[in-house]
Amino acid sequence: MTTALELKNISVAFDRLKIIDAITFALREGDIGCLLGPSGCGKTTLLRTIAGFETPFEGEVWIRGVRVSDNKHLVPVEQRQVGMVFQDYALFPHMTVKQNIAFGLQDFKGHLREVRISELVELLEIGEFLYKYPHRLSGGQQQRVALARAIASRPRILLLDEPFASMDITLREQLAKDVRNILKQDGITAVLVSHNQFEAFAMADIVGVINEGRLLQWDTAFNLYHRPATSYVADFIGEGVFLSGSVTGDREVHTELGVITGAMPLGLEQGTTVAVLIRPDDIIHDDMSELTARVTDKAFRGAEFLYTLALENGTRVLSLVPSHHNHPVNEDIGIRLEIDHLVVFPVR
Ligand code: ATP
């Protein structure tokens, strides 16, 4: 598969302050990538750099084999053939849905324009409000129209900046899945910016975790969760706690929960002090187990409870337990470890 977008060692600064620090990644044709990170980490700046609104002081941006940015040359935004969707949709209020979409199709001749609009109506299921004005649509409907307008002229890359941020939290994940299906049907390569990991996981094939302008890991959601590259990623993605441990073998650590063995060599010397990542799904509730922990808190999640458990010496861990196991706070319950992916970080 060909590379649709490539960032090579991109650094961006404002007033000499480095905001993006040597970021490199590539996205294949038709793939959806997500830039995920906390507020102010530089996600929007990176997206604006891809669009051509910001000039990197170092590095290059390539779109479909063409270098569009380096520190000397900048292909203008309008020549990059990127589509954009923003948080506030930015639909024209005085135009109907159809006119809004047609606005993105100014280079299409009459008949071709109608054909493309029909395709978009079908793809995005927006036929029933084609002649309405944006203020008469729900947030989700407006988002679909904004998407239709952005992809109307078949951009090479679609950039989406927090496109669901103003929506109901329960609607977001569903909408992210819907948008993913639409982009996949049309084979559109896209980069999404989000600070919400569930949205990122629902929509993207590959996710980049950014903190303080650095790309810490560019990987699948599964790997970010189970094979985090840094302790920041481990902490940022999903839930979990770090237990203190000591390396006792090639793929073995000793913790207060006993010896934990991983499938892969740890690559650390015996005796190294480590932080061991324990996810809520690593701790199984088991009445038969001799190992017990005290329930200190519980959160009902429908199918599951997320229990906070205190180990003997007071260390807290989390455990995800089917919700028919309803134990009160302060009860001791049996637990056992079931760790498929042993993740440790040396403590310096
Ligand atoms: P959020 O999720 O809050 O939108 P973000 O990760 O998208 O944040 P950016 O908007 O890229 O972050 O901003 C990163 C940093 O760069 C912030 O500290 C911001 O104040 C700064 N910044 C952004 N644009 C400019 C600018 N034009 N001039 C100066 N500083 C800027």
Best mutation site among 45, 166, 199, 215 for ligand 1, i.e. most ligand atoms within 8 A of its Cβ? Answer: 45
**Collapsing DSSP states into helix, strand and coil, what is residue 93?**
coil
Distance 27 CA to ligand 1 centre (A): 23
Distance 39 CA to ligand 1 centre (A): 8
pLDDT for 90 equals 78
Nearest CA to ligand 1 atom 24: 45
Q: Is the pLDDT of residue 335 over 80?
A: yes
Average pLDDT over the chain, rounded to an integer = 91
170 ligand 1 Cβ < 6 A: no
pLDDT for 89 equals 66
Distance 339 CA to ligand 1 centre (A): 39
Range in 116-130, 231-245, 269-283 with the lowest mean pLDDT: 116-130
pLDDT for 331 equals 96
Neighbour tally for 245: CB within 10 Å: 23
Which of 89 and 117 is assigned the larger pLDDT?
Answer: 117
43 ligand 1 Cβ < 6 A: yes
Nearest CA to ligand 1 atom 5: 40
- Tens of pLDDT, residue by residue over 269-326, are 999 999 999 999 999 999 999 999 999 999 999 999 999 999 988 899 999 999 999 9
Q: How far is Cα of residue 279 from the mean position of the Cα atoms in its chain?
A: 19
| Mean pLDDT of the 225-250 span | 93
Write down the H helix ranges in the chain: 43-51, 97-103, 110-124, 139-151, 169-186, 197-203, 221-226, 231-236
Q: How many helices (H) and strands (E) does the chain have?
A: 8, 20
Nearest CA to ligand 1 atom 26: 14
| Mean pLDDT of the 220-244 span | 93
Distance 236 CA to ligand 1 centre (A): 20
**Per-residue pLDDT band at 123 (split at 50, 70, 90):** confident
Q: Is the pLDDT of residue 122 over 70?
A: yes
Neighbour tally for 305: CB within 10 Å: 20
pLDDT for 98 equals 93
Best mutation site among 12, 14, 86 for ligand 1, i.e. most ligand atoms within 8 A of its Cβ? Answer: 14
Structural domains of the chain, with CATH: 3-235 (3.40.50.300), 240-346 (2.40.50.140)
The pLDDT > 70 percentage for the chain reads: 99
42 ligand 1 Cβ < 6 A: yes
Which of 333 and 175 is assigned the larger pLDDT?
Answer: 333
Range in 59-73, 79-93, 184-198, 210-224 with the lowest mean pLDDT: 79-93
pLDDT for 1 equals 65
Interatomic CA distance for residues 190 and 31, integer angstroms: 7
Nearest CA to ligand 1 atom 3: 39
pLDDT for 81 equals 87
pLDDT for 318 equals 95
Closest approach atom of ligand 1 to CA 45: 11
